[in-house]
């Protein structure tokens, strides 16, 4: 089972590494991190480098596609290199999936037209601009297309996908292997649950970051965004 995770400068690391950690444990899985050019890729904070082991052209027909998100997706929504790769790979994929704002790239490639889909809560509404039907759920399955909500939702999505690819017991074994028995110390993980002042703070930080990006600044706003 060939699994491709396309990565790019400005990705959110956990979007990619959560599903990697689950799917790489499937019997027979071969996960490959690919990019426009093989080599080092930096995350949106600049603090972590991941290695793309191959270029997009070297893996055009993966059975599973997992598209992560990150600050860079706004820029990449107009990048034909990655969008053309997605369109081609989706034609033959068994599963096409995304985490967080990775669904904005699927949407830009035309893959979500007419489909229900999810995204990071801050960007969910954008899917409608591309013919998608935004759904505020953790994991949304539509045939072979599975989208996940923000960042950490990729772990839930990948366990769901692992059960589809293999079987439920295998997915449960992977869950036990990664001891995924979450016990968040706070209950602030969604806009519906977070205290109002926390929600406003994260919204404001996101708006500041986007304004800075529009002004051409490369500075990353770390203020809890």
Distance, CA of 34 to CA of 65 (rounded, Å): 11
Question: With binding defined as CB under 8 A, does residue 169 bind a second copy?
Answer: yes
Report in angstroms the alpha-carbon separations of 150 from 43, 61, 168: 16, 26, 24
Q: Shortest CA distance to 3 belongs to which of 66, 73, 82, 74?
A: 66
Question: With binding defined as CB under 8 A, does residue 116 bind a second copy?
Answer: no
Q: Which of 195, 207, 208, 217 lies at the binding interface for a second copy (CB under 8 A)?
A: 195
CB 66 within 8 A of CB 4: yes
Residue entry with tokens 């107009």? 78
Binding to a second copy (CB under 8 A): which residues in 11-50? 12-14, 17-18, 20-21, 24-33, 40, 45, 47-50
Question: Annotated active-site positions, please?
Answer: 100
By beta-carbon proximity to a second copy, the closer residue of 76 and 171 is 171
Q: Which of 94, 128, 173, 211 lies at the binding interface for a second copy (CB under 8 A)?
A: 173
Secondary structure of residue 214 in the 3-state scheme: helix
Question: With binding defined as CB under 8 A, does residue 218 bind a second copy?
Answer: no
Token pair in block for residue 114: 């007419």
Binding range to a second copy, per CB under 8 A, among 79-87, 88-96, 105-113, 174-182: 174-182
Question: With binding defined as CB under 8 A, does residue 214 bind a second copy?
Answer: no
Binding to a second copy (CB under 8 A): which residues in 74-113? 100
Phi, psi at 66, each rounded to 5°? -125, 110
Question: With binding defined as CB under 8 A, does residue 141 bind a second copy?
Answer: no
């Amino acid at each position: 089972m060939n699994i491709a995770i396309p990565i790019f400068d400005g990705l959110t690391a956990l979007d990619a590494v959560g599903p990697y950690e689950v799917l790489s444990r499937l019997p027979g899985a071969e996960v490959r991190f690919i990019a426009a050019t093989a080599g080092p890729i930096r995350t949106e904070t600049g603090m972590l480098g991941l290695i793309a082991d191959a270029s997009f052209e070297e893996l055009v027909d993966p059975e599973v596609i997992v598209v992560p998100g990150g600050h860079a997706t706004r820029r990449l929504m107009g990048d034909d290199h990655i969008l053309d790769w997605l369109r081609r790979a989706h034609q033959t994929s068994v599963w096409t999936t995304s985490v967080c704002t990775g669904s904005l790239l699927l949407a830009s490639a035309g893959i979500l037209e007419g489909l229900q889909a999810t995204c990071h809560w801050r960007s969910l509404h954008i899917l409608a601009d591309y013919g998608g039907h935004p759904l505020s759920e953790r994991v949304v399955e539509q045939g072979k297309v599975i989208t996940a909500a923000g960042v950490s939702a990729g772990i839930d999505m990948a366990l769901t996908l692992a059960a589809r690819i293999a079987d439920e017991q295998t997915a449960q074994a992977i869950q036990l292997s990664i001891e995924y028995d979450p016990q968040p110390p706070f209950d602030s993980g969604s806009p519906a649950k977070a205290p109002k002042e926390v929600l406003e703070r994260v919204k404001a930080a996101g708006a500041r970051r986007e304004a800075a990006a529009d002004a051409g600044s490369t500075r990353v706003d770390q203020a809890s965004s």
